[in-house]
Amino acid sequence: MPTYPYLKIDHVDKSFKRGAATTEVLKDVTLAVEKGEYVSIIGHSGCGKSTLLNLVAGLLPVSAGCVLLENKEVNDPGPDRAVVFQNHSLLPWLTVYANVKIAVDKVFSSTKSKQQRHDWIMHNLDLVQMAHAKDKRPAEISGGMKQRVGIARALAMEPKVLLLDEPFGALDALTRAHLQDSVMAIHAKLGNTVMMITHDVDEAVLLSDRIVMMTNGPAAHIGEILDVPLARPRKRLALAGDPTYVRCRQRVLEFLYERHHYVEAA
């Protein structure tokens, strides 16, 4: 048994420099995520949640501290930490199939044959129930469908950690609920390690094993970590009145709206 955690964010600071001015966004963030765990990061807008995700993804360099994946430091982006972006980020000139293909061809060019790659693409599109639209372009499908394809593209890289950057933020409530159920089902089936950014309390409680609550910036840090001891599979309707669910929800709300009230001017 390894004694180190699967993913470790170790005393990470992040500051942005613009000319002489330095803005400290994150200060001393430490978090350990176990394999197969679903962790949500919640906080008010502007608190640096997305910055933290970008640091783990390697899209931004850390100012101090380090990010360790399987005890190895990661500094640059790579398919082992696949990102599902908030606005899907599909390439609009490629079909749904080709958008997943570009990832699969890159990651499995030497390990899978052409036929295997095709099967793997279709398998992932099936997982998100988008195989029927494989020849459509992103402009021809709905927002929820685009996000599904984005998830398929990320899953197809077989990442060690799946990073979700407010994946359901731009969707309407019904589509969002539907997609949350899909993500839960996929997580149950594949057992991915997931780190999700969100600002939706219900979403965080419903999906996560642990909820990481961030204080307000500047120099944001982890204010509190809440375990969500709800058995899986979780059912949206049954949970609504569940005392544990209500208690967790209450804790997050208290944190966000009483102790770390969002100050517009800050």
In the complex, the residues that contact another protein under the rule CB under 8 A are: 57-59, 76-79, 81-83, 85, 87, 89, 91-94, 102-103, 106-107, 137-139, 157
Closest approach of Cβ 47 to another protein, in Å? Answer: 20
**C-beta of 17 vs 258, nearer to another protein:** 17
Closest approach of Cβ 119 to another protein, in Å? Answer: 20
What DSSP element (H or E) covers 126?
Answer: helix 114-127
Q: Cα separation of 12 and 28, whole Å?
A: 5
**C-beta of 155 vs 252, nearer to another protein:** 155
Q: Cα separation of 149 and 124, whole Å?
A: 9
Which distant-in-sequence residues (6+ apart) come within 8 Å of 105 by Cβ?
117
Closest approach of Cβ 98 to another protein, in Å? Answer: 10
Closest approach of Cβ 192 to another protein, in Å? Answer: 16
Closest approach of Cβ 90 to another protein, in Å? Answer: 8
Contact 170, 63 (CB under 8 A): no
Q: Cα separation of 266 and 263, whole Å?
A: 5
Q: Cα separation of 67 and 72, whole Å?
A: 8
**C-beta of 49 vs 260, nearer to another protein:** 49
Structure tokens at 117: 């790659």
